[in-house]
Amino acid sequence: MTTTSLAGATGIGFVLLAIVVNVFYVRAGLPQPTSGQSLDAVTDALAGIGRRINLPSVFAPAAWLFTTLFAAGLLAALWRDEQPGGNAWALVGFAGVLMQNATFMVVESLRFGAASAARHHRGSVAGLWAFGNVLFGFNQAFLAIAVLGFTAAGASLAFIPSWHAWLGWISAALLFVSSTAAPYNADGTNRIAVTGLLGWLGWAAWIVAYSIALLNI
């Protein structure tokens, strides 16, 4: 299997895995950062989640591996000695993916901290919940950077069609706008949550489209 084929397969694999993991989290009863639930309701839910939080997180390292392989393969496909500008944009995209992975590792770990605090020291949940919510929101900036960089690189090389580029521009803009609201979402109430959701869905579709392009090389 070539580097680009591996990248395409892992890109699609990541999107499928992300959907499955989020379904597991919802079924487990994990409060979502944009749920708007009261602190008492969040604490009760975290206290009762028990070991149901463990299974979805087992797949988190695989998700980070998949996105890194996807980004590395995309960087390799877009790197052109005669296009230094495109190379720079591709590096921006790769950096965004790495920062997103590192940030979400912290978000994922905070969920376990909040669940433990809910069972043993309820007063600690407020700080951990706010920390996780704001970090989850700020993380969208790194998603936007990844999409922006790889879209600019792909468009400059005519590697992707115009509709794919526009999908990237719009998704990056939505994600970035949503990230700026993070300081106001510490309590889990996100008045522009639909903006982030649309940006995330666009980002997922953007990955699938880029993955298909890599598989077709």
User: What is the rounded end-to-end Cα distance, in angstroms, of the chain?
Assistant: 12
Sorted by where each begins, the domain ranges of the chain are 3-215
Q: Contact 95/154 with Cβ under 8 angstroms? A: no
Q: How far is 187 from 154, CA to CA, in rounded Å?
A: 38
**pLDDT higher than 80, residue 154:** yes
**pLDDT higher than 90, residue 96:** yes
Six-digit token string for 158:
């005519």
Let me know if 108 is exposed, middle or buried by CB neighbors in 10 A (0-12, 13-18, 19+). middle
**pLDDT higher than 70, residue 127:** yes
Using DSSP, how many helices (H) and how many strands (E) does the chain show?
8, 0
Q: How far is 104 from 108, CA to CA, in rounded Å?
A: 6
Six-digit token string for 31:
């409060």
Q: How far is 92 from 75, CA to CA, in rounded Å?
A: 10
**pLDDT higher than 70, residue 65:** yes
Q: How far is 52 from 25, CA to CA, in rounded Å?
A: 8
Tell which residue, 100, 187, 180, has the closest CA to residue 142.
Answer: 100
pLDDT at 120: 87
The arithmetic mean of pLDDT across residues 35-53, rounded, is 84
| pLDDT-based confidence at residue 84 (cuts at 50, 70, 90) | low
Q: Contact 9/74 with Cβ under 8 angstroms? A: no
